[in-house]
């Protein structure tokens, strides 16, 4: 019996969720939470942010983000500095150690996924490549 579109959507959601969970487990610092890594990744991709900017980006409260940033700072992954344009603001940026842990985590995740894809038959890798295109299309709508 063919599945309904709703069932197919649910199956896709669950598969993406499980894959995402497996990828998140691949990280350079096993003690780091997903939320902490998300902050490091945001700083890695988009550069320095204020605490408020990070909180808004991650959709958490400012006090919650402050705890996350404090933990990352204590671990040596981020640095705080005065905003050159507005001394009342503090910018949060990656330290060299923070840059390294993001880079190592991305490398580890890519290696894990590459190995899993490599194990697939050539025909299945082609199907997966097309699925990536379709998923990007869904996301960009």
Buried b (16+ CB within 10 A) or exposed e, 18-55: eeeeebeebbbbeebeeebbbbbebbbeeebbbbebbb
Q: What CATH number is attached to the domain comprising 15?
A: 1.10.10.10
What is the pLDDT, as a whole number, of residue 124?
A: 97
Q: Is the per-residue pLDDT at 85 higher than 90?
A: no
What's the mean pLDDT in 96-112? 97
d(CA 102, CA 28): 8
* Diameter over CA atoms, the chain: 65
Q: Residue 19 belongs to what domain range?
A: 5-139
d(CA 41, CA 101): 10
Confidence band, pLDDT 50/70/90 cuts, at residue 87: confident
Confidence band, pLDDT 50/70/90 cuts, at residue 65: very high
What's the mean pLDDT in 26-42? 94
The predicted-structure confidence for 10-26, as pLDDT tens digits, reads as follows 999 999 999 999 999 99
Q: What's the number of domains the chain is made of? A: 1
Could you tell me the pTM of the whole model? Answer: 0.84
Cα angle vertex 112, ends 74, 140, to 5°?
85
């Amino acid at each position: 019996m063919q599945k309904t579109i709703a069932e197919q959507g649910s199956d896709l959601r669950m598969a993406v969720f499980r894959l995402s969970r497996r990828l998140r487990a691949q990280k350079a610092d096993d003690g780091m939470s997903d939320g902490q890594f998300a902050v490091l990744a945001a700083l890695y991709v988009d550069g320095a942010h204020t605490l408020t900017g990070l909180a808004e980006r991650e959709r958490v409260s400012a006090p919650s983000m402050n705890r996350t940033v404090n933990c990352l700072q204590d671990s040596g992954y981020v640095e705080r500095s005065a905003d050159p344009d507005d001394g009342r603001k503090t910018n949060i940026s990656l330290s060299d150690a923070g840059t390294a842990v993001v880079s190592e985590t991305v490398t580890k995740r890519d290696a894990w996924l590459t190995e899993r894809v490599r194990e697939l038959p050539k025909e299945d890798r082609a199907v997966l490549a097309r699925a990536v295109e379709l998923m990007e299309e869904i996301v960009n709508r």
